[in-house]
Amino acid sequence: MGDEEVFYELYGEYVSLREFGVATLISTILALAFYFVSPYVANLIGVPSAGLSITLGAVGASVGFFISVFLTRVKRVIKEV
C-alpha cells in the first residue's frame, strides 16, 4: 500500500470505499442469512423464534465483522512522540 493512495474521510476515519463496501456486504449478508435461518433453528431446538432471530442476526453481523478485519486494512499509522 503506497503512502499516497487515496482514501476518503468518513466519520473521522480514513476508509477505502471498496473495502468498506466489501465489509458492509459481508456483515449484512451474514446478518440477514442468520436472521432468516433462525425460525428453522428455533423450530429445531423448540424455542420461540422472535428473540432468536435478533440474536442470530447479531451473531451473523459479528462473524462478518471478524471476517472483514482480515479482508480490510488499517489506514492509520502510529508515530511515537
Partner 1 sequence: MDPLTVLLVVLLSALSAILYIFIGILPGTDETATMAPILLTLLLMGVDPLLALVWFAASIAAFKMADSIPVALAGIPGGVMAVPQVPDALTAKDAGLADTILRKGIASSVVGQFVALATTLTISYYLMPLGDWLRATDEVLPNVKVARWFWILLIGLLVLALTSRNKGLALISIPAFALGVQGLRAVYGRSVYISFFLGITIGPMMFELLSMLHTELKKTYERKGLKEIKLAKIGKIPLNPLKILTREEVAQSTLWSAVTSILATVMSPVGLTILIGDLLRESKKDKVRGSVLAYTVRDAVKNATYIGGTVIPLLVIGQPTGPMAAGPAMPFFQKLENLGMSARDYLVTHYDYLTISLSLIGASLIAFLIAYPILVKYSRKITVAVFRRVPAEALYGLFIAIVIMLSYYDARIAGVFGTLIISIVSGALWKLGVSLGVLFMTLVAAPTLVAILMGLPI
d(CA 29, CA 35): 10
Which residue, 20 or 41, has its beta carbon nearer to partner 1?
A: 20
Q: Which of 44, 45, 46, 76 binds partner 1 (CB under 8 A)?
A: 76
Residue 44 sits in the site that holds partner 1 (CB under 8 A): no
Backbone angles phi, psi at 17, to 5 degrees: -65, -35
* Residue 26 burial (CB count, 10 A): 20
Residue 14 sits in the site that holds partner 1 (CB under 8 A): yes
We find the least distance from the C-beta atom of residue 39 to partner 1, in angstroms, to be: 13
